Chains A and B, each alone.
Chain A
Amino acid sequence: MDKFTTLTGSAAPMPLVNIDTDMIIPKQFLKTIKRSGLGVNLFDELRYDREGNEIPDFVLNQPAYRDAEILIAGDNFGCGSSREHAPWALLDFGIRCVISTSFADIFFNNCFKNGILPVTLPQEAVDALMEDAGNGSNARMTVDLQAQTVTSPDGKVYAFEVDAFRKHCLLNGLDDIGLTMEKAASIDTFEDQMAQARPWV
């Protein structure tokens, strides 16, 4: 997993609430057995017509946002299915940070496993950043994970909360599985105890 430390880039505004994982990456693209290559199909049904032509109105098709690295989204982003194809598609497109008032739990979790930082901010802050993002590619923002801040194009600073362990893993690009494998002895002990206490499991 790539580290996430600081990111400065342009942000695409997607004010729609409840953007679900079916919108982020429709089902027909879940048939892959790889993690890569999904960026071209990110938001597929919003982004292309039935013939595969780009829909010019869609935000990521606009010249200002084709290289966006940050997404500013409406409430409850990522609701719906557990498909990790959603963060894989965002990452493959080049989005490393999503800012919203709230995220669905599983999507939120999946982001951290893939080097994407989901930032939760209050409504007023998201509204202000949404407006900034509307100003196009020159409106660059900076997300600093170490400092836990988002700095708007005009220098306004918004602080955000992030779980200490997740921050540590993201800053250092750590592989969860490797960390847990080091605790094999504790897992062995737990299994022994469980075999006594709940042998039917």
Chain B
Amino acid sequence: MTIPAAAAPRTLYDKIWDAHVVERQDDGTCLLYIDRHLVHEVTSPQAFEGLRMTGRKVRAPERTIAVPDHNVPTTLDRQTGIENPESRIQVDALDKNAREFGVHYYPVNDVRQGIVHIVGPEQGWTLPGMTVVCGDSHTATHGAFGALAHGIGTSEVEHVLATQTLIQGKSKNMKVEITGRIAPGVTAKDIVLRIIAETGTAGGTGHVIEYCGEAIRNLSMEGRMTICNMAIEGGARAGLIAPDETTFNYVKGRAHAPKGAQWDAATAWWKTLFSDEGAHFDKVLTIRGEDIAPTVTWGTSPEDALPITANVPAPESFTGGKIDAARRSLDYMALTAGTPLTDIAIDAVFIGSCTNGRIEDLRAAAEVLSGRKLANGVRGMVVPGSGLVRAMAEEEGLDVIFKNAGFEWRLAGCSMCLGMNPDQLAPGERCAATSNRNFEGRQGYKGRTHLMSPAMAAAAGVAGHLVDIREFAKEPA
């Protein structure tokens, strides 16, 4: 028996996709409508320049939101201007373009400025069921709201600016289910690192991942954003989590969220946004929440993640091209196979980024740091994800805890996640980082990055080496 097309069960991804198709070509390629376009200074100058050269305008400036984040200094003196001339030119170009083309804009000195993927949700621009794009791979973050969100290149930024659409082929559906409950000390970051360790960095290529299961359901919006943020590190175009009461409670009352009768209409539709019983997934991965330990990376790819109780692996334990890659990673990271991960001494701690720069992340780190200090010789930096996160943290007194522990308390930006501004690791410096990529040179030339949760990074700073937060938490401050 053939099921009529209208009744065929659909995934969450299918539903959002279907609601945004403007035109479908015979070969299946679609013209997809884009509800929100987030813009930052690094990947947009050439796109705006393209518009100018062709005499085109921004089709929907009211759906376009610009904020500088990658290049901005995070030091308190940034009101006095940006020292690096190239960075200054990019930030100035965004300022000029945002004003000239009339898009929504949060300039450097606006308290609402911050990392584009933190600002969007915070201001209520990101809503369930939307299509959201940005010239940045971590656009996947917004999938936490049940929005189809992914990174695009600069040519596509220009395409969206000019037409408010994208030419897209549909991805496949992948389901990642985390069953049961996670143990104390285990966070969203540990869940997503574990997922990437299982799938590899290419495991999600060509797919949109829907994260589901009890352990995902129990996460706050902050935690869900951490999970979806790193969907791209598993190769997936986007990550999705079906919206629920947690989502609605987060969205309600935000500056650009619907209000009154529109709120009721919106939530009525949002409640239909879930994968139907029997919907087809091309790939499925299931992990027991109870089996997930605090997880850290040892190498130079996010897939190089292991429980903190493990040892640095031997390259020979891998197969194919990964053997040489692991050998290269160990050399770059200056690690020896067989070393317990908890023996790895660190020089720096970075707490921030679109992965872990939200208020909940700062609270988790501050809880560990309360009454404690960074180990001798370890430097620490806390970079809130937005000016509003910073303000909220200060209201809660978290800044005092960080400063007392010896951390620098910075202004909002992407900062040392990718070191486009002066916040960088020195060659050979080893960092416990809450960001998303441990690639060679990512945080600074020859810098060495270990990815982990905010609590684990804070604890590593105190101990001077990587530690198991479950053991660390037992020690009195």
Spell out A's residues near B (CB within 8 Å).
Answer: 15-18, 20, 22-23, 26-28, 30-35, 45, 50, 74-76, 79-84, 87, 102-106, 109-110, 113-114, 163-165, 176-177, 179-181, 183-184, 186-187, 190-191, 194, 198-201
Interface residue stretch chosen among B147-155, B344-352, B355-363, B466-474: B147-155
Residue of A34, A45, A165 touching B29 (CB-CB under 8 A): A165
Report yes or no: A22 in contact with B437, Cβ–Cβ below 8 A.
yes
Give Cα A179–Cα B165 distance, bound, in whole angstroms.
12
Interface residues on B, range: 35 or more
Contact A45 B165, CB 8 Å, known A79-B201, A104-B235, A113-B155: no
Spell out B's residues near A (CB within 8 Å).
Answer: 19, 22-23, 25, 27, 29, 31, 33, 35, 42-43, 45-46, 49-50, 54, 56, 59, 70-71, 84, 86-87, 89-90, 93, 127, 129-130, 135-137, 139, 150-156, 158-159, 162-165, 167, 169, 171, 201-202, 205-206, 232, 235, 237, 258, 262-263, 265-266, 269, 301, 303, 320-322, 324-325, 328, 418-420, 427, 437, 439-442, 445
* 9 extra A-B contacts, CB within 8 A, seeds A103-B205, A106-B237: A17-B320, A20-B437, A31-B87, A33-B46, A50-B445, A76-B202, A104-B202, A109-B153, A187-B31
State how many angstroms separate the Cβ of A99 from the closest Cβ of chain B.
15
Residue of B25, B42, B136, B265 touching A199 (CB-CB under 8 A): B265
Give Cα A103–Cα B162 distance, bound, in whole angstroms.
28
Residue of B27, B50, B139 touching A165 (CB-CB under 8 A): B27
Residue of A15, A45, A191 touching B445 (CB-CB under 8 A): A45
29 A-B pairs in the complex with CB atoms less than 8 angstroms apart:
A16-B321, A18-B301, A20-B301, A23-B439, A30-B70, A31-B90, A31-B420, A74-B321, A75-B320, A80-B137, A82-B139, A82-B151, A82-B152, A82-B153, A84-B43, A84-B153, A104-B235, A106-B232, A109-B152, A109-B156, A113-B153, A165-B29, A177-B162, A187-B22, A187-B31, A187-B165, A190-B22, A200-B258, A200-B266
Residue of B33, B154, B303 touching A84 (CB-CB under 8 A): B154
A83 neighbours in B (Cβ, 8 Å): 42-43, 153
State how many angstroms separate the Cβ of A48 from the closest Cβ of chain B.
11
Report yes or no: A33 in contact with B49, Cβ–Cβ below 8 A.
yes
Residue of B29, B153, B266, B439 touching A110 (CB-CB under 8 A): B153
State how many angstroms separate the Cβ of B202 from the closest Cβ of chain A.
4
Report yes or no: B445 in contact with A18, Cβ–Cβ below 8 A.
no
Report yes or no: B152 in contact with A186, Cβ–Cβ below 8 A.
no
Give the A-B contact count at a CB cut-off of 8 A: 190
Contact A181 B49, CB 8 Å, known A187-B33, A198-B269: no
Give Cα A184–Cα B155 distance, bound, in whole angstroms.
19
B86 neighbours in A (Cβ, 8 Å): 31-32
Report yes or no: B27 in contact with A31, Cβ–Cβ below 8 A.
no
A176 neighbours in B (Cβ, 8 Å): 155, 159, 167
A30 neighbours in B (Cβ, 8 Å): 42, 70, 420
Report yes or no: B31 in contact with A15, Cβ–Cβ below 8 A.
no
Give Cα A75–Cα B320 distance, bound, in whole angstroms.
10
Q: Which residue of B lies closest to A194 (CB)?
A: B33
A45 neighbours in B (Cβ, 8 Å): 440-441, 445
A199 neighbours in B (Cβ, 8 Å): 262, 265
